Structure 1
Amino acid sequence: MSAYRIALNFEDGVTRFITCNAGEKVLDAAFRNKINLPMDCSDGVCGTCKCRAESGRYDMGDGFIDDALTEDEAAEGLILTCQMVPESDCILSVPTSSGACKTGQKSFEAIVVGITEHADAAVVLELDTSGESAPNFLPGQYVNIDVPGAGLCRSYSFSSAPGESRLGFLIKKIPGGVMTSWLGRAKPGDRLTLSGPLGSFYLRETRQPLLFLAGGTGLAPFLSMLELLARQGSSAQIHLLYGVTRDLDLVLVDALEAYAARLPNFTFATVVADANSAHPRKGWVTQHMPETLLQQAAVDVYLCGPPPMVDAVRGWFAETGVTPASFHYEKFTPNAVLKAIA
């Protein structure tokens, strides 16, 4: 009997994964997993269980009435979980908080297996879940990592692909920062507690060319996305612009070169803001946008970077009149990830 993985993304950023058996309705599968999705009638009459299907194939049958879900709503990807029977893995956006559905973040432990410093710019942290089940997440999402002895947590996007027991994170060095200070004395074998996954910034189903815009350590979620796309053998046209402040901030370029070799239609360009740099492309990413790609009929744009970069890109789209088919973005600060999506 086939079973499908369903990702439930709640309004507060929490994501929970459930398994839905062949022929089983999502609402029933959620209840079986002790997640109380919104419902009232469970017969396709009231529309209380309405959610949005971000990706995947499914059958809605004919057991609901138009008042619960109109043809226009169905065409826009809205579904009723009390009627939806998945025919593949699916991602659903649930328009309420995880707490309202009697669920929440999951926590798990991992062991430090690698710490690689990149000058004073960043640290690559590698963790292993040490025999526990590999955490489920969507490429682009993040977790909260408790900083040992500090009573604080910090948020970092996965740079590794879903389904792996070894997890990767690209962490910006902050002088005097809580996580930076701990990493300076951390050693292999140290244990960390993580909670998540979290965030509504993740790779959707690929139907058209992709433009990835990364600022600094905002490169991390794109590495996760690229790894998944490479494993899928994607032939989609993908271009990544990677903008940093200084030459030293350009890290993991070798990883991008490796993806260019694995993905037939992936290209990337690096940009350095420092006017004194000898880098061939200087300035801001908005000065190096791929006009040919953006002039196509449809392109999906993903953006992850510090707030000034995100605001600048959004302003550039408004000023130039370029309207992507979809635009997903996430702002981050040195101490936390702030999700935002449009």
Structure 2
Amino acid sequence: MIFSIGVAVGFLSTVTLLLALLLLFAERRILNYGPCTLDINEGRKTLVVNGGSTLLSSLGENEIFIPSACGGRGTCAYCKVKVLEGGGVIGPVEESNLSSEDAKKGVRLSCQVKVRQDIKLVIPDELFLAKRFQGKLIRKRLLTYDIVELRIALIQPETIQFAAGQYIQLESQEYLGRDAVMRAYSISSVPSDDRHVEVIIRRMPEGICTTWVFDHLEEGRELNLSGPYGDFKLKESKAPAVFLAGGSGMAPIWSILRDMKEQGDDRESYYFFSGRNQDDLFFTEELFALEKELPNFRYIPCLTREDKGSSWQGERGRVPFILPKYIPDATKFEAYLCGSSNFIDSCAAALKQAGINENSIFYDKFE
């Protein structure tokens, strides 16, 4: 009986897969939509593409790289663009990833929009600068028990232009039957080092890309990435700044702080880094040394689960409770937060309580 059920389930799965492949073939080969025009940002760029593919792939084939981490399955919702005309109806996959406000503004998931007619769309201007890069891993080093740093030398193109705080998408390679995926990681190196990209990656249980990075990726291996992406970067206002991060959220802050040093930006600034215990800390000596190079900068590591009997002399407890001790009045500050949703939400609430304007809080949230 169990065998019969297994055979039936296997048969249905095979039939479903075959039907999906037939539909895909029909969409691309039988239904000939002919050439379609993509009008991007009111004529800034115009593309003529063959109809039938998704908007995401059509743009990618023309070297306009929209962020996407799920391989076009509509689960990551990174590939949002604004479609003014020609996008067709919103399907169920999109509907679950779009707010009512998104729908009113014409925001769509480009991986779910099929190019069947001429389309007018709007994308952020910075995406025109994003490129696909081939590189070689020249250094892989553990920073903590669950965080690794990768240093990648760029091969083609040889240089990258980015702002401190932006991110790239790293493409994993197939291993143990796992398909290649794209995942977003903040750049931790400084913009002046334009021939290399460094990223800081935390191991995620069962994570396809992080497992590949930790267990299969070796120095000397060639790999692919795209970018830069994102608008998480230091504003030019010169307002006092407070940085808050935990774990691999260190990456964009590490880039921003060292770029500040290189640019001679000596604004008043504080960096609160959250860890469970001393094993979670890294770049500690470098950050304390930075206090001497940036006289108005202060680094405050905060540990939430450090053993009471340890030799730790620094702050103990969660960042939101420690923050007022150093910044009782945050009215004039800008805040830059990087980490998990819970971390950012709790820190943002503490900052607001300390008087910071909500419009002065900027964050890079890890979902």
The CA deviation string for residues 61-113 of structure 1, in whole angstroms up to 9 with x for no partner, is xxxxxxxxxxxxxxxxxxxxxxxxxxxxxxxxxxx742899958421111100
The CA deviation string for residues 127-158 of structure 1, in whole angstroms up to 9 with x for no partner, is 11136332111111111100111321111100
Instruction: Within 5 Å, give how 1:313-324 maps onto structure 2.
Output: 313-323=347-357
How big is the alpha-carbon RMSD for the aligned residues of Structure 1 and Structure 2? Answer: 2.9
Find the aligned partners of 2:124 and 2:253 in 1 and give their Cα distance: 29
1:125/1:313 Cα in 2 relative to 1: closer, same or farther (>3 Å)?
Answer: same
**Structure 1: any 5+ residue segments left out of the alignment?**
1-34, 41-95, 334-342
1:331 has 2:365 as partner: yes
The aligned counterpart of 1:234 is 265
Instruction: Specify the SS of the correspondent of 2:234.
Output: coil
Find the aligned partners of 1:224 and 1:100 in 2 and give their Cα distance: 22
Counterpart AA for 1:113: I
Instruction: Specify the SS of the correspondent of 1:305.
Output: strand
The aligned counterpart of 1:59 is none
The aligned counterpart of 1:14 is none
1:144 has 2:169 as partner: yes
Counterpart AA for 1:168: E
Counterpart AA for 2:236: E
The aligned counterpart of 2:182 is 153
1:318/1:301 Cα in 2 relative to 1: closer, same or farther (>3 Å)?
Answer: closer
Identity of aligned residues (%): 26
Contact 1:209–1:299 (Cα < 8 Å) also in 2: yes
- CA shift, 1:319, in A, is 4.3
Counterpart AA for 1:303: L
The aligned counterpart of 2:335 is 301
Question: Which stretch of structure 1 is more off in the superposition, 243-252 or 317-326?
Answer: 317-326
The aligned counterpart of 2:19 is none
Counterpart AA for 1:148: Q
Find the aligned partners of 1:190 and 1:105 in 2 and give their Cα distance: 23
- CA shift, 1:181, in A, is 2.4
Instruction: Specify the SS of the correspondent of 2:228.
Output: strand
Aligned counterpart for 1:168 among listed residues 198, 215, 229: 198
Tell which structure's C-alpha radius of gyration is larger.
2
Contact 2:352–2:358 (Cα < 8 Å) also in 1: no
Instruction: Specify the SS of the correspondent of 1:135.
Output: coil
Counterpart AA for 2:360: S
Higher normalized strand content (fraction of residues) = 1
Find the aligned partners of 1:132 and 1:156 in 2 and give their Cα distance: 19
TM-score, L = length of structure 1: 0.64
Higher relative contact order (CA 8 A, sep 6+): 1
Instruction: Within 5 Å, give how 1:113-152 maps onto structure 2.
Output: 113-130=138-155, 132-149=157-174, 150-152=179-181
Contact 2:320–2:350 (Cα < 8 Å) also in 1: yes
- CA shift, 1:170, in A, is 1.0
Contact 1:237–1:266 (Cα < 8 Å) also in 2: yes
The aligned counterpart of 2:234 is 203
The aligned counterpart of 1:286 is 320
Contact 1:304–1:331 (Cα < 8 Å) also in 2: yes
Aligned counterpart for 1:276 among listed residues 285, 307, 320: 307
1:141/1:151 Cα in 2 relative to 1: closer, same or farther (>3 Å)?
Answer: same
Count, aligned residues? 245
Higher normalized helix content (fraction of residues) = 2
1:328/1:185 Cα in 2 relative to 1: closer, same or farther (>3 Å)?
Answer: same
